[in-house]
Structure 1
Amino acid sequence: MSDATSSLDPVQLGAYFDLIEVTSLLRHAVEQQLRESGDLSYVQFQLLARLGDSPTGSHRMTDLADGVVYSRSGLTYQVGLLEKEGLVVRAPSPDDERSVTVTLTGAGRELLAKVLPGHVEVVSGLLFAPLSHDEVRSLAGLLAPVRDHMRATPPRSAASRRRKGGA
């Protein structure tokens, strides 16, 4: 990698490794808290949280897959597990009979309310505690354009599904 365009400078490499380590440590702690307080996986929590944030408590399966950056087949499996536990229900979409809508149940809302305080505590304690409010604002300002750039050319699981024939 002698070509300057094919390597990272020391600052870039350090920032990359710091980001990977912070992400791994935070995700591990969050996953542990979710398992202990609600027997949920990280992806299952993301699904419940997205549904809980929706005014209707519902989303189409494809929109959930796009939002949580997860394969559609993996998402179908995870939603199936949540449905078996009575935390969500699936039904044909009222807007498009080819789509499936997932809706949070009362039990799902209760579980989300149970695990959310611990989740907030872990995220606040590990990610935000060592930073000032201005540093958190700067971090958000730095991450947003990176996220937007990555979303502009997302992996298939994060790409919005485009219909053929303009439907």
Structure 2
Amino acid sequence: MSEPLLDRDQLGAYFALIEVAGLLRHAVEHQLRDAGDLSYVQFQLLATLGDQPTGSARMTDLADGVVYSRSGLTYQAGLLEQAGLVTRGPSAEDERVVTVSITDAGRTLLAQVLPGHAELVRDLLFEPLSGQDVRTLAGLLTPVRDHMRAAPPRSAAPRRRRSARSEPS
């Protein structure tokens, strides 16, 4: 027997979540473009690297963390590298692994866009909520996120082969 369709409450919660996420993302993307000429993914990369004690992370870990394709992340990291905001290079532990590091210019830009970013998120997402509402929201979303992330990370998925010629014999 197949699963029933979503009930009225589930459908309402789903549409509200999608709409809130879409509206927030749209506003955040405009703020990041205006404040630092950054895309949302570029901001995520800089913020993730800026939060690391070493200022560095493996490309694979970054792709899994920001939920972005490896090729798309490589492209975005390349744009950030061209702008002098990150550097890329082989890992000291394993030269097959690419490590991305935030530069001083990247930290400066991150410090420039963060206050406006935080203000926007606070105004749009948290302003209409009480402190208890925020804790409840986090308590509701955290297990959902953890459930969704329980599957193997996208970087663990095998890469599709481009052609039969590239397959090893």
Per the normalisation by structure 1, the TM-score is 0.91
Spell out, residue by residue over 1:100-120, the C-alpha distance to the aligned partner (whole angstroms, 9 max, x if none). 100000000000000000000
1:110 aligns with 2:108: yes
* Partner residue in 1 for 2:97: 99
Q: Pick closer, same or farther for the CA change 1:12–1:162 going to 2, 3 Å.
A: closer
Using the TM superposition, give the Cα deviation of residue 5 of structure 1 relative to its aligned residue in structure 2, in angstroms.
Answer: 1.8
Look up the match of 1:161: 156
Residue aligning to 2:119? 121
Deviation at 1:145, TM superposition (A): 0.3
> Post-superposition shift, 1:91?
1.0
**Identity among equivalent pairs (%):** 72
Equivalence map 1:29-68=2 (5 Å): 29-68=27-66
- Asked if structure 1 preserves the Cα contact closer than 8 Å seen for 2:46 and 2:110, the reply is yes
Q: State the shift of 1:153 in Å.
A: 2.2
Q: Unmatched 5+ residue regions in structure 1? A: none
Q: Tell me how far apart the structure 2 counterparts of residues 10 and 161 of structure 1 sit (CA, whole Å).
A: 36
Give the alignment's Cα RMSD to 1 decimal: 1.6
Q: Which 4+ runs in 1 deviate beyond 4 A?
A: none
Structure 2: which 5+ runs fail to align? 159-169
Distance 2:46 2:115 in 1: 14
SS of the aligned residue for 1:103 comes to strand
The code of the aligned residue for 1:50 comes to T
Report the Cα distance in structure 1 between the residues aligned to 2:127 and 2:66, rounded to whole angstroms: 25
Letter in 2 for 1:31: E
- SS of 2:128's partner is coil
Aligned partner of 1:81 in structure 2 is: 79
Counterpart code for 1:8 = L
- Kindly state the Cα deviation for residue 4 of structure 1 after the two structures are TM-superposed: 7.2
